[in-house]
Structure 1
Amino acid sequence: MKLKRITLELLSLGMLVSCGNTSSNGYVDNYKNLKGFDIDLAKAACEKLDITPIFQEIIWEQKETELSSKQIDLIWNGLTITEERKQNLEITLPYMSNTQSIIVKKDFADDRITSEDRYTIAFEQGSAGEDAFNSSDIFKGSTSVGVTSQVTALTEVLSGTSDIAIIDSIMAGYYLSDSSSYGDKLKVLSGYDFEIENYGVALRKGETALLAKLNETIEELYDNGTTGDIASRYGLNNDLVKPETYTKFDEVEDKSSWEYIKNKGNIIIGYTVFAPIAFEA
């Protein structure tokens, strides 16, 4: 994947980017061609918070490094919430559910995969697909191919370089639809039940004030119907997760993480391209 850097020098030139088409401060959205559920939800959240989003494409395997080094402020890109990640990162309320799907060519011969099979299996490095490969007994006899994106995992199968791809079900439903160029060539291999996952937004450990602000905004957008409206654009209403309880902003003593974002006036959001979460239209 080509790494795109959108730098803060844009701000010094006055090229401010709004969270919607026009925010309360009159900024113009320079990311009109960047679409997807997470992108649209992030824009709506930033508009509520009155801060400017800067979207920066990253390599998924390097997401934690990008975050800790302050190259980005958030990972908002279909991030699966896991216990390990919760120990190392602050993660918002879950906002969407997902699972993993096995993708093969339509003429794939086997109905069932077993530990004795010898397939080449592609997945995005550092993803829940990689976790599924490592934890499932059915893949023990197969060879893994770690790639830089879930889209690349699909093209591996399409080209015949790999036999199988493991990707998010959210993505599989979109890319394998009848209207997609992948839909007549690839299919989901049914009959495999992976664990249900939830997506959340990740930020640096200890940034509890910023976390509280994001959680309040995620809850508000869900309650006022904005999240549902965004989900309708991408056929994802059935995958939404109702926000649960969380620590409120007023209950957080250390407000420095929110003050840091508010004072600089922008928040850098790391993402990778995979529809319908984030893509260029």
Structure 2
Amino acid sequence: MRRLGITPVFKQITWDRKDSFLDSNEIDCLWGSFTMSGRTDDYRWAGPYMYSRQVVVARKDRGINSFADLKGKRIAVQSTSKPEHIILSGEDDRIQGVSAVYSMSTMSELYASLRKGYIDAAAGHEVAIKRFVDTNPQQFIILDETLYKSELGVAFKKGRCDDIPDILNDILKQMIDDGTIKKIAESYGINADISMGDN
């Protein structure tokens, strides 16, 4: 935000109420691994600034090494997320016969359930999932298969009349061109080739 000349104030929100927070002006934008794909007409966007994989993390003691192994297993997703839609709709033929799908309000609830063994696996953004797995790599595994690959952007309320979204969009493009976003991705242990859309 230094290049934009604004000091950000970060707020944690209940994700399935994100639109009400945006509509009430309690927040100015949604910037948290938010997927543009399929939502381009719902918001005023800055981006895409990188790509994100939706992945599945599993407990190592449950014998899950591929999507096929999720048959008969319990999996958790965040409410209103892309993984929730994919798994509940059954549109991915690689994931069949899951015994239960739990939709949770926050990723913290999801991680707690995974730690305690209430669920066998969970799905979400690679960046967030990898950060969780790094806290206990002996207990959890990220499956190699990609559930979904999406464009990430910063969402503003439609009808916003100022030029901040356009200015931010230009700044994000500069940060892509000068390699800044790639360096940030690598600092979090994310595959930069995938995150920048090269693969």
Shorter chain as denominator, the TM-score bin is: 0.7 to 0.9
Pair 1:204-2:160 in alignment? no
- Measure, in 1, the Cα distance between the counterparts of 2:115 and 2:80: 22
- Measure, in 2, the Cα distance between the counterparts of 1:128 and 1:234: 22
Contact 2:43 2:155 (8 Å CA) reproduced: yes
Query: Could you tell me which amino acid in structure 2 is paired with residue 233 of structure 1?
Result: S
Contact 2:44 2:158 (8 Å CA) reproduced: yes
Q: List gaps (5 residues or longer) in structure 1.
A: 1-45, 243-281
- Measure, in 2, the Cα distance between the counterparts of 1:114 and 1:222: 36
> Which structure has the larger Rg?
1
For residues 82-112 of structure 1, the C-alpha deviation after alignment (integer angstroms, 9 at most, x for no partner) is: 22x2221112221121222222111223555
Aligned residues: 192
Change (3 A) 1:57 1:143: same
Pair 1:184-2:138 in alignment? yes
- Measure, in 2, the Cα distance between the counterparts of 1:222 and 1:213: 14
Q: TM-score, normalised by structure 1?
A: 0.61
* RMSD value, Cα: 2.5
- Measure, in 1, the Cα distance between the counterparts of 2:54 and 2:176: 25
Change (3 A) 1:94 1:211: same
- Measure, in 1, the Cα distance between the counterparts of 2:43 and 2:37: 10
Task: Tell me by how many angstroms 1:118 deviates.
Answer: 3.0
Q: List gaps (5 residues or longer) in structure 2.
A: none
Which residue does the alignment assign to 1:168? 125
For residues 196-247 of structure 1, the C-alpha deviation after alignment (integer angstroms, 9 at most, x for no partner) is: 11211100113363321111111122233433343343233334437xxxxx
Contact 1:98 1:196 (8 Å CA) reproduced: yes
Change (3 A) 1:206 1:155: same
Query: Could you tell me which amino acid in structure 1 is paired with residue 36 of structure 2?
Result: I
Pair 1:47-2:2 in alignment? yes
Change (3 A) 1:116 1:52: closer
Contact 2:127 2:188 (8 Å CA) reproduced: no
Change (3 A) 1:220 1:154: same
Aligned-pair identity in percent equals 24
Query: Could you tell me which amino acid in structure 1 is paired with residue 106 of structure 2?
Result: S
Query: Could you tell me which amino acid in structure 2 is paired with residue 231 of structure 1?
Result: A
Change (3 A) 1:52 1:118: same
Change (3 A) 1:69 1:186: same
Which residue does the alignment assign to 2:49? 95
- Measure, in 1, the Cα distance between the counterparts of 2:70 and 2:21: 39
Which residue does the alignment assign to 2:21? 66
Question: 1 or 2 for the larger relative contact order (CA 8 Å, sep ≥6)?
Answer: 2
Pair 1:194-2:147 in alignment? yes
Change (3 A) 1:234 1:193: closer
Task: Tell me by how many angstroms 1:114 deviates.
Answer: 5.1
Query: Could you tell me which amino acid in structure 2 is paired with residue 56 of structure 1?
Result: K
Change (3 A) 1:49 1:100: closer
